[in-house]
Amino acid sequence: MDALGWLIFLVALLFSVMLHESGHFFTAKAFGMKASRYFIGFGPTVWSIRIGETEYGLKALPVGGFVKIEGMTSIDEVDPEDEARSFRRAPGWQRLIVLAAGSFMHFVLAAVLIFLLAFGIGIENDNTTNLGTVATCVPASETALENGAACTAADPKSPAELAGLKVGDAVTSFDGIKVSGWTKLSADIKAVKPGTPVTFTVLRDGKTLTLHTALVTVKGHGSYLGIAPAVIYQQQGFLQSIRYVGTGFDEVVTGSFSSLAKLPAAVPDLFSKNRGSTAGGDVTSVVGAARDTGQAVAADVGWKAKVAFVLLLMASLNIFVGIFNMLPLLPMDGGHVAVVIWERVRAWFARVRHRPDPGLADYRKLIPLSFGVFAVLVVFGTVLILADIVNPVNIG
């Protein structure tokens, strides 16, 4: 099942890459530009076929893809007969659309996935107080708790086990206070000093039971009881699902910018023992995302939880990639967008001053900047992949 999760992630990733490149490809074709190659992957060619003026194919390394549009920059060599149909000869607004189309397709795919999550699976109900997990022992540390370490004979029984709490119980009150939702219940539990006796009222098989226990301490975590809520999904109607797309986008976009802001601070924590509780635990590579998908598919949970996790993960990744790709840094699409905008602003100033259009930007001057950004991305990506291999974050 873990291998199946990796396969699902790989297929979804390649599909996402295909959509990205298709955005560039079809908008370029629509504007009459010549797109001579459309490939998935990099490295040696495994298979290709030429249809019309375009060669379609697969490369040996399935880690991306590319579309070759003739004359993307001022220094590209183009056959004289194709110059009129080159990217650089198109109006600025057309070039901007072609460049932004890749990220746009990521956003479209993410919107479809979020809609399918709400309409087909449902939205997780955060207000449930039904228990989905009752731990049988007290974890030795916060790390053991986060990693879901198995119980040993030496581990003491958890307070939840000693109290007699069972999966499916609906907690109705805690220490005499009515429970309205899991968020409030979780906060109330953490606020209790370890060792203090507490009382639970639960509804089990239509009967109300009163149970007693005392919380314990887990090093690095604080007060510990040993319960987790049941995951309940509520399917949404068509219009509600469309509205949820907006809500989901807002949450993921906010999280994406937060993750980007944490990138510098995350580097020192990538190899720390407590990575999961630091900024280093909030960023991951494709290896980490694939591993998370594998863990989710292999987890002992219902199919809805598995599908919901995969859909939300892929939607989040597509939104993040779409945003990251539009940052105004070469060699990313956002960097090329910035160059086109600069060319048009410069042309406007020349026109106002009654001077000739200075034309295309000289990409030879931008090569050092582009290479520098590319080198930083490669180094950081390599470090992040290495961290995900030797010091992974367990999603539980």
Active site residues: 21
Q: What angle do CA 122, 306, 148 make, to 5 degrees?
A: 120
The DSSP result for 368-395, as a single string, is HHHHHHHHHHHHHHHHHHHHHHHSPPP-
CA–CA gap between residue 282 and residue 275 (Å, rounded): 9
22 Cα distance to chain centroid: 21
Helix (H) or strand (E) holding 217: strand 216-218
Q: What angle do CA 59, 64, 67 make, to 5 degrees?
A: 75
* 393 contacts 288 by C-beta, under 8 angstroms: yes
Pairing of strands 216-218, 207-214: unpaired
CA–CA gap between residue 193 and residue 216 (Å, rounded): 8
CA–CA gap between residue 248 and residue 259 (Å, rounded): 16
